Structure 1
Amino acid sequence: MRASRLVNLLLLLQDRGRMTARQLADELEVSVRTVYRDVEALGAAGIPLYGAAGHDGGYRLVDGYRTRLTGLTADEAQAAFLAALPGTAAELGLGEALATAQLKLRAALPTELREHAGRIQERFLLDAPGWYGDADRVPDLAAVAAAVWAGRAVVLRYRRWRAPEEIERRVEPYGLVLKAGRWYLVAGGPSGIRTYRVDQILAVRPMEEVFVIPDGFDLAGYWNGYLADFRARLHTSEALVRLTPEGARRLGVTPTCGGWTEVRIPIESIDHAHREFLRLGADVEVLAPAELRNRIAQTARTLSTRYEG
């Protein structure tokens, strides 16, 4: 456990430069006293690091020192290769860089770990997009990613669902998120932080203006909050339905033994629920709300008339 923590401490200093004992303790989830002991142990092992007191103090490695990747475990090496998505890197304009990085990583690994990593690429394939429909075309993704990386504002021409359907807006791109095969841009603008689908961006005009991401902004934290808010707005009502055992199975509901199961199910809207429940055919009966039940009954009558003819 301590050996792993020492390696992590070393990698943190290598990655981030100067860090205080408190910052290291928070990252490693240990006490400041433990950090002091670990720093002493690294120094005794010949690692060239030093500490400085005062407001700008902290620990750092001697300039130019880089550790090798000999501390990787088999699982860590496998995860490094498994996490790399060639298609995603190519969309961002980093396909060649990813291939080169993997070659360098493979060359730095001991023979046994190199074989583990090779088997990962032979036996596992990550395909992020969903089954139905072609992958979104994102011709402006590379330009957006470049602006995110450089911290430069851009002017977006964007297509949205409400009027006016086409808008132009200056935004400060904070980060990109890949969700179920679809790219989203998280950016600051005149009305605060907003999320934009990259496949709905019609044009990107880079600006020379450099911006600073607000203190305390965390991309993962923002995205988790965005998803929670989306889900809360998604299911604003519910339907009371009866399900056959097969219908219960298809909806992931625990069925009542040997008969129909009555259950309340969150729904997004009458229109959306109408489409989804029709997929279950005779395995569902909608009891409420009355508007939804009447819509499905009308559809059933129309289908019956059409097929009888």
Structure 2
Amino acid sequence: MRASRLLSLLLLLQTRERMTARELAAELEVSIRTVYRDVESLSAAGVPVYADRGPDGGYRLLGGYRTRLTGLTEAEAASLPLSGIPGPATQLGLGDVLAAELKLLAALPPALRDRATSIRERFHLDAPGWFRTPDDVPHLHAIADAVWNQHRIEVRYRRWQHPQQVTRVLDPLGVVLKAGSWYLIARPGTRPETRPETRPDGDRPGTPGPPAPAAPADLRTYRISRVLTLHTRPERFERPAGFDLAAYWTAYTERFEADSYPEHAIVRLSPDGLTRAPVLLPPAMARAALDGAAAPGPDGWTEVTLPIESVRHAHVEFLKLGADVEVLAPPELRRMITATVRALATRYHPESPHLRG
């Protein structure tokens, strides 16, 4: 571990020319005292590293010194496709992204290295969604290992249907990170229950919804945070010929979103309501509000048809817009909104017994 860190420190100085002890400590995720010790070790080994004093100081290598220790290990090579998202790569156990990136940068000519560094300084990918904590995925590493080595797994899984806990034997084909949540794409093997898992479980706990249609080749999608136990079995499996994980996921999400909003509502939105819809409504509803908006009427309001998951779900979503939305159809939804507005008016009436002071 220390040898790998010393090499990373050396490559950092080689690719970035000069770095302070604090910058090195942040990159290597160690203390500044550890950086001091590592620099001393490099010097003792004959590496010409020296320190510039003053506010613009830092460590640098003697001009012209370069190391050729840039060969990638198998683990580092495996991590390269995820070099832009080092956090998820580490969760998957796919090797040292920093070491792989530094070795590649050190092997590039100066002009190309400067270009690559400039891109990293200007673009950053942050996978998790806003206002949510990442899923707890204690079995992610083991699942990724089984995907990589094509080993069958046996999992105990918590889902939204009854019975909630089921046991599955799966051929794990791929792992997907979607808005901070990890999903497993797998082909079911033998299992005690016959009802298939066809939708990523847990998106809205306790709220049943229509299942997504059967995926090609009988594939299924499982939310990894809902894997309770996992056992990697010794037998291996063969991946389906021509399986394309990215293409499968694109088609699956399109089907899943379409089936999640099987009904429609006709509403009128005020100018403010149309502006706030992308912020307050779910993405599918917000897109329809913007894409399907016709010319405003004489009063400035716009009539649109929006997809809804259910009347009950739409009731909650439209209340977020307050007085900037009027539901025209279906009648049941309009009645529910009307009842809620009347209840609120009664609750907040100046003579309400609940008001104090």
Query: What TM-score does the superposition give when structure 1 sets the normalisation length?
Result: 0.70
- In 2, are the aligned partners of 1:248 and 1:254 still within 8 Å (CA)? no
**1:202 match:** 228
Deviation at 1:286, TM superposition (A): 0.3
- In 2, are the aligned partners of 1:237 and 1:268 still within 8 Å (CA)? yes
Structure 1 residue 256 corresponds to structure 2 residue 318? no
Matched residues in 2 for 1:91 and 1:81: separation? 14
Partner AA of 1:160 in structure 2: R
Instruction: Provide the aligned C-alpha RMSD in A.
Output: 2.0
Classify the secondary structure of the residue corresponding to 1:105. Answer: helix
Q: Percent identity?
A: 50
Equivalenced residues, count: 230
Matched residues in 1 for 2:141 and 2:252: separation? 24
- In 1, are the aligned partners of 2:83 and 2:101 still within 8 Å (CA)? no
Structure 1 residue 292 corresponds to structure 2 residue 291? no
Matched residues in 1 for 2:123 and 2:237: separation? 40
Matched residues in 1 for 2:187 and 2:343: separation? 49
Q: 1:296 to 1:164 in 2, by over 3 A?
A: same
| Bigger mean CA deviation after superposition, 112-121 or 181-190 | 112-121
**1:168 match:** 167
Matched residues in 2 for 1:236 and 1:295: separation? 19
Structure 1 stretches of 5 or more lacking a match?
1-67, 69-79
| Bigger mean CA deviation after superposition, 216-225 or 128-137 | 216-225
Q: 1:249 to 1:223 in 2, by over 3 A?
A: same
Structure 1 residue 273 corresponds to structure 2 residue 314? yes
Deviation at 1:112, TM superposition (A): 1.4
Divergent runs of 4+, >6 A = none
**1:219 match:** 245
Matched residues in 2 for 1:261 and 1:170: separation? 51
- In 2, are the aligned partners of 1:241 and 1:263 still within 8 Å (CA)? yes
Partner AA of 2:306 in structure 1: I
Structure 2 stretches of 5 or more lacking a match?
1-69, 71-79, 190-195, 197-217, 278-289, 353-357
Classify the secondary structure of the residue corresponding to 2:84. Answer: coil
Matched residues in 2 for 1:288 and 1:276: separation? 15
Structure 1 residue 302 corresponds to structure 2 residue 343? yes
- In 1, are the aligned partners of 2:82 and 2:89 still within 8 Å (CA)? no
- In 1, are the aligned partners of 2:90 and 2:96 still within 8 Å (CA)? no
Classify the secondary structure of the residue corresponding to 1:128. Answer: coil
Deviations 1:267-306 (A, max 9, x none): 1111221111111110000011011111111121222222
Matched residues in 2 for 1:147 and 1:287: separation? 52
Deviations 1:91-139 (A, max 9, x none): 1123x52111101110111111212222333333211111022111111
